Amino acid sequence: MTSLTVLIVDDEPLARARLARQLQKLDDCEMLGEAGDAEAALQQVRELAPDLVLLDIEMPGRSGLELAGALSALAAPPAIIFCTAHDEFAVPAFATAAVGYLLKPVAVEQLAAAVDKARRLSKPQLKAAAASDVQAETTGRRQIKAVSRRGVELVPVESVRCFVADSKYVVAHHSGGETILDESLKELENEFGERFVRVHRNALVAVAYIAGLRRDGGNYRVLLDGIDERPQVSRRLLPGVRSLIEEMV
């Protein structure tokens, strides 16, 4: 297997040293160098042409996000994995076509998974991914990003069977399990209203996966292909849901 060349960019020497130690534990990775700010990093990328950049976001001068934008404009951009102590930058980070977003302190297992993903992307593919992200801004998201202490999870919209509001969170039930989102049900309905229908004040279901209705005592629940979750249908919305199911038959 060809060795993956890596540049570490972080304004904190201790953070760079920790990432370097974690990198040494991974097979087929070669650290080319390190930089403490965006200008030095950009120069090293041009001179060394690394396959991958491990990049902090908050740095003096140009931020990691600004540097990522400059790198994505190169003819052969490196893959980028953000390594940061802050989770609020996930959405703008992925707009730069980053392949990973890890929260400090970075665990070696998380780094290994992100590096494996970067290894599967060639530099031409990374350039195409950047162009695809620009297009997605005008055509709507194909993936929903969720941030937790484990890192960032990307949930394909086409895999979601339903969104259910639970207390102050919204849970996406999808083919891979359940994911807590930091978005309101109303925001999701406004964005994906053509693909999801509201069946209750706390639930949206994917029209494509509706399998029928089932009576549960005095209530009705929607049956969905692929998951066990059965969102309740409110009395007010029941006639519309019935009509929709009849049209699908």
| 97 phi and psi angles, rounded to 5 deg | 70, 25
- Let me know the angle formed at the C-alpha of 82 by 152 and 7, rounded to the nearest 5 degrees: 145
Structure tokens at 77: 């951009």
| 83 in any annotated domain | yes
In tens, the pLDDT along 204-213 reads 999 999 999 9
Do 169 and 87 lie in a common domain? no
Average pLDDT in the chain: 85
In tens, the pLDDT along 65-87 reads 899 888 887 877 888 999 988 77
Give the confidence band of 16 by pLDDT, cuts at 50, 70, 90. Answer: very high
- Predicted confidence at residue 72, as pLDDT, reads 80
The pLDDT of 216-245, averaged and rounded, is 93
The pLDDT of 173-194, averaged and rounded, is 88
In tens, the pLDDT along 39-49 reads 999 999 999 99
Higher pLDDT, 121 or 23: 23
| 95 in any annotated domain | yes
Do 129 and 205 lie in a common domain? no
Do 24 and 130 lie in a common domain? yes
Give the confidence band of 109 by pLDDT, cuts at 50, 70, 90. Answer: very high
- Predicted confidence at residue 140, as pLDDT, reads 60
Structure tokens at 91: 């959405």
Point out which residues pair with 33 in neighbouring strands.
7
DSSP single-letter state for residue 142: S
Domain limit, last residue, from 109, 139, 169: 139
CA–CA dist 9, 158 (Å, integer)? 35
Give the confidence band of 246 by pLDDT, cuts at 50, 70, 90. Answer: confident
Strand order through the sheet with 169-174: 177-181, 169-174, 160-166, 203-206, 196-200
Q: What is the model's pTM?
A: 0.53
Domain limit, last residue, from 139, 162, 178: 139
Do 16 and 131 lie in a common domain? yes
Give the confidence band of 15 by pLDDT, cuts at 50, 70, 90. Answer: very high
The pLDDT of 100-107, averaged and rounded, is 88
Give the confidence band of 219 by pLDDT, cuts at 50, 70, 90. Answer: very high
Do 115 and 235 lie in a common domain? no
| 239 in any annotated domain | yes
Do 11 and 131 lie in a common domain? yes
Do 202 and 174 lie in a common domain? yes
Residue 149 has pLDDT above 90, yes or no: no
Q: Is 243 helix (H, G, I), strand (E, B) or coil?
A: helix
Q: Is 179 helix (H, G, I), strand (E, B) or coil?
A: strand
Domain with 37, as residue range(s), is: 4-139
Higher pLDDT, 91 or 130: 91
Which among 6, 57, 11, 61 has a CA at the least distance from the CA of 36?
A: 11
Q: Exposure of 175 by Cβ count < 10 A (0-12 exposed, 13-18 middle, 19+ buried)? A: middle
Percent of the chain with pLDDT over 90: 51
- Predicted confidence at residue 233, as pLDDT, reads 96
Do 160 and 117 lie in a common domain? no
Which among 32, 53, 48, 67 has a CA at the least distance from the CA of 99?
A: 53
Relative orientation angle of helices 123-139 and 64-72, to the nearest 10 degrees: 110
| 192 in any annotated domain | yes
Q: Is 64 helix (H, G, I), strand (E, B) or coil?
A: helix
Q: How many helices (H) and strands (E) in the chain?
A: 8, 15
